[in-house]
Amino acid sequence: MGAASMVKCEKIRCTKFYWLIIFFLIGLTVQAQQSSVFTTSSSIHVIGDVHGAYNEIQKTLTNLGLIDQQNNWSGGTSHFVCLGNIMDKGAATKKVMDLFIKLQTQAEQAGGQFHVILGEHEVMNLKGDRHGLSAEEIAEFSEDETTEQRQKAYQQYIQWHKLTQSEQTQTDFDTKYPVGFFAHQQAFGLSGKYGKWLLELPFIIKINDQLFTHGGLSQNIKLTDLTSLNKQLKSELLSYLKHWDYFLKKGQLGFDIPFEERAAYLKKLIDSPQKRTFMKNNRSLVLSTDGPSSYQGNSQCHPYFEEDQLAEKLQFWEASRLWVGNTSLEHGPSELSTQKSFAQQIVQQRLSEQLMMMNTELSSSKHQTQLWTATITPDGQTNFSNGSLTKQFQPEQAVKRHSRNVYNMSDEEIEQFMKTAEITNMIDTTEGKTKPFKVTMEKDGKVIHGIFKYMDTHPRSNRGRWRNSVNQADRYQYELAAYRLDRLLGIGLVPVTVARNIDGRDGIIQFWVDGLISLLQYNDDKIIYKGICDFNNQVNFLDSFDYLILNTDRNQSNVMFNKNDGQIWFIDHSKSFGTSSRRPKMLKKSNIKVTKAFRTALKNLTSEQLQELSPWLHKKQIQAIMNRRDYLVSGNF
C-alpha cells in the first residue's frame, strides 16, 4: 500500500472514530437526563425569566423560604421551578447559574427538587447565538480568558474574513469581542462547565397535574411520554451542536457566523453525510419557532384555535394546566411598578385558564427586574406574589389578541377618538372599485389613521320589504355590522370601526392597521410565512367568519397579516350578509373546521344579541346569520 493510500486510510479511520465518539456521547448525555414526571405533597414554587438578575432571584428565594442567609437550600421537600431564560440581558448570569447548580444538588439531597427548564436563551447560548448577551455577562468571564485563547481566535478571525493584520483590525476585533467573550464561548461549549450543565436540563416537566415549559406546546410536538419527548428534543439539539463543532474544527465555519447564516455557508461545500445531517438538524423542531423553548402561539395566538390544541395535549398528559415563561415585557424606568394593577398585567391566565403566563418585568434601564412568583400549595391553592417584595395579587385574564391598540387605548377609546377627532388629511386610494379615502385624525396630541368607506349601492335596504337584489349589495354599513358581530363573538380581529360623516358624506372609518402584508404578496413574491401563529389555523378561522357573514368578496389581496408576527386581520366586509346558507364560491373547496372554542362562542350567540345589528341589517339578514350559525355549530354546511 502506498503512502498516499495509507494517509487516506488513516483519515477515514480518524473520521469514523470521531463520529463514533460523537454518537456515543450523544447517547450518554440523552440517557443521563433526569425524570420528566414528578409527584409531591409539598409546595411547588414557580418563577419566569430571570435574565441574570442575581440579587432579585436571591431575594425571591429567601422570601419564599427556599434558601438561608448562606444561600443554601432550606426548602426541605419543596419543588422549585424556573421556567427558563436564566441568562442574557442581565448583569450576573454566571452567579445565577452557579447558585442554581448548587441548589439543584442540595434540594435533591433534602428530598426536594430545584427544576430549571431549558428556555429560548439557553438554547441560543448553546448554539452560539449571542444576540441577548450583555457586556456585563461577558465581563464575568474576563478573568477566565487566556491570552492564547484570544490570539487563536484573532488569527481565525483574520483568516476567515481574509483581513490584513493591522492595528485597526486588532481594534475592530477587540471592540467586537471584548475580553471574556471567548471564555464565555468555551464555557457554553459541549465540554464547558455551563454547556454540560445546560444539556442535562429538560425542555418540559410535569409535577402532579401541572406541566411546565418555557415557550409553549405547538401542534408539531408529538403526543408521546414526556421522557421520550425530552430525549427526542435533546438528541436533535446535541446532534446539531456536535456537527456545528465538527465544521468549526474543520475550519469550514467561522466562530462568528450567525446561526441563521450557517446553512447558507455549508451549502457551498461538497456533499457529505455530515453536511446532510447538519442541514437536517438545522430544520429540526428543537431549533424552530415551534419548539417548546420558542413557541409563542399558546400565549399570543387566538384562543379560538389555540385552546383546542392545548386542551388535546393536556388531556393526553393528564394535566390541568401549562405554565410558560416566554412572555417577558420591557418597560421604561418610569413604568416600573409594584402595584397590583401592574402585576396583573405581568402574570396572566389564558385559554380558559389552561395556560398560566409567568411574565417578567424588564426595565429598559439596566438591570431593574421584577420577578413574579406562584406558589401551588399542598391543598391545590395557587398564590401569586412579587418575589422580592412578597406583595400578593391575582392574575388577570389575558387579551384574546396579543397585539395591543395604538397608545394602549381600548376599543371603546379608539371608537370615541375616531368619532370626534379632527380630520387633518384625506388621501385618495386606488383600492377596489369603491375608492375609499385614507384619513388622518388628530386629537389631544395623538394621531391615528383610518380608512373612510362610503359606498352604499342599496340605501335604506335594512328597512321595509326585503328585495333579493340586496344580496349583491356593496354597503359601507356592513363593515359596522361585521365589527359588532366580531365583538359579540369575542373574536377581536376586525379593526375598530365607527360611523362618521365627513364633508356631508355618510360612511364609516375603520382603524388603519399599519405594517400588513397580503396573501397575494406572499405568493407573488414567494415570501416564506414565518409568523408565530399557524397559517392554516388562521385562514380556517377567517373562512369560518366569512361563511357566517356570507362574505362574497374574499380574495388573496384582502387576506391580511401583520408583517412582524404573522397574525391575521379580518378586513373588507362590505359585500357580505346575504340571506343564503350556501357557501360563497371562494369557500366551496375550503375544508372549514369549526374549533370547539369557536363553536361554544357561536352557541352562545342569541337572536336578541343580534338585534344590535338592526341599524345596518334587515331582519332577514339577521335571521340568515342565525341559520348559518346553526350550520357551523352542527358542522353540516
DSSP assignment of 90-135 equals: SS-HHHHHHHHHHHHHHHHHTT-EEEE---HHHHHHHTT--TT--H
Locate the DSSP E strands across 279-327: 321-324
CB 377 within 8 A of CB 346: no
Strands (DSSP E) found in 125-254: 204-207, 210-213
- Kindly report, residue by residue over 267-294, the tens digit of the pLDDT: 989 999 999 999 999 999 999 999 999 9
**Cell triple for residue 510?**
375603520
Rounded Cα distance, 316 and 148, in Å: 53
C-alpha 459/C-alpha 506 separation (Å) is 11
pLDDT of residue 516: 95
Count Cα neighbours of 138 within 13 Å in the Cβ-side half-sphere: 15
184-188, 254-258, 428-432, 435-439: segment of lowest average pLDDT = 428-432
* Exposed e or buried b per residue across 30-63, where buried means at least 16 C-beta atoms within 10 angstroms of its C-beta: beebeebebebebbbbbbbbbbbbbebbbbbbbb
What share of the chain in percent tops pLDDT 70?
Answer: 88
Q: Given a cut of 80, is residue 3 above it in pLDDT? A: no
Distance CA 33, CA 10 (A): 35
Are the beta carbons of 568 and 537 closer than 8 angstroms? Answer: no
Tell me the pLDDT band of 333, cut-offs 50, 70 and 90: very low
Give the pLDDT of residue 432: 61
Q: Region 76-101: what's the mean pLDDT?
A: 96
Higher-pLDDT residue of 401 and 366 is: 401
- Residue 223: pLDDT over 60: yes
- E runs forming strands in 188-264: 204-207, 210-213
- Mean pLDDT, the chain, as a whole number? 89
- No. of H helices and E strands in the chain? 22, 24
* Average pLDDT of span 510-520: 95
| pLDDT average, residue stretch 243-266 | 93
Long-range residue pairs from 253-259, CB within 8 A, at least 24 positions apart, any chain: 254/156, 254/157, 254/160, 254/161, 255/128, 255/153, 255/156, 255/157, 255/160, 255/185, 256/157, 256/160, 256/176, 256/177, 258/129, 259/124, 259/127, 259/128, 259/129
Which of 28-32, 167-171, 567-571 has the weakest average pLDDT?
28-32
From residue 235, alpha-carbon distances to 116, 124, 272, 283, 451 in Å are 18, 16, 21, 14, 51
pLDDT at 96: 97
Range 464-470 average pLDDT: 95
The grid coordinates of residue 160 equal 476567515
According to CATH, what is the number of the domain 12-145+180-397? Answer: 3.60.21.10
What is the pLDDT at residue 336? 32
600: helix, strand or coil: helix
For the beta carbon of residue 492, count every other beta carbon within 10 angstroms. 17
Helix H or strand E segment including 424 = strand 422-428
What's the CA dihedral at 104, 106, 107, 110 to 10 degrees?
160
Q: Give the largest CA-CA distance in the chain.
A: 101
In this prediction, what percent of the chain has a pLDDT beyond 90? 81
Q: Distance between CA 502 and CA 199 in Å, rounded? A: 63
pLDDT tens-digit series, residues 389-416: 667 778 888 877 656 688 989 999 999 9
Min mean pLDDT across 220-229, 320-329, 566-575 is at: 320-329
Buried b (16+ CB within 10 A) or exposed e, 559-587: bbbbeebbbbbbbbbbbbbbbeeebbeeb
- The predicted pLDDT at position 123 comes to 97
pLDDT score at 11: 44
Q: For residue range 572-592, what is the model confidence (pLDDT) as tens digits? A: 999 999 999 999 999 998 999
Amino acid 620: pLDDT: 97
CB 68 within 8 A of CB 395: no
Contacts of 401 (CB under 8 A, 6+ apart): 302, 492, 493, 567
Q: Residue 625's closest CA among 478, 424, 469, 416?
A: 478
What pLDDT, on a 0 to 100 scale, did the predictor assign at position 342?
Answer: 39
Specify the amino acid at residue 59. Answer: K
CB-CB contact of 174 with 101 (8 Å): no
The pLDDT of residue 17 is above 80:
no
| pLDDT above 70 for 365 | no
576-to-95, 232, 554 alpha-carbon distances in Å: 61, 48, 10
Per-residue pLDDT tens for 426-460?
Answer: 998 876 667 899 999 999 999 999 999 999 999 99
Q: Is the pLDDT of residue 467 over 60?
A: yes
Residue in this structure with the C-alpha cell 448562606, named with its chain if needed: 70
Confidence of residue 2 (pLDDT cuts 50, 70, 90): very low
Is residue 334 scored above 60 in pLDDT?
no
Rounded Cα gap, residues 36 and 34, in angstroms: 6
d(CA 25, CA 204): 22
pLDDT at position 41 over 60: yes
d(CA 377, CA 365): 35
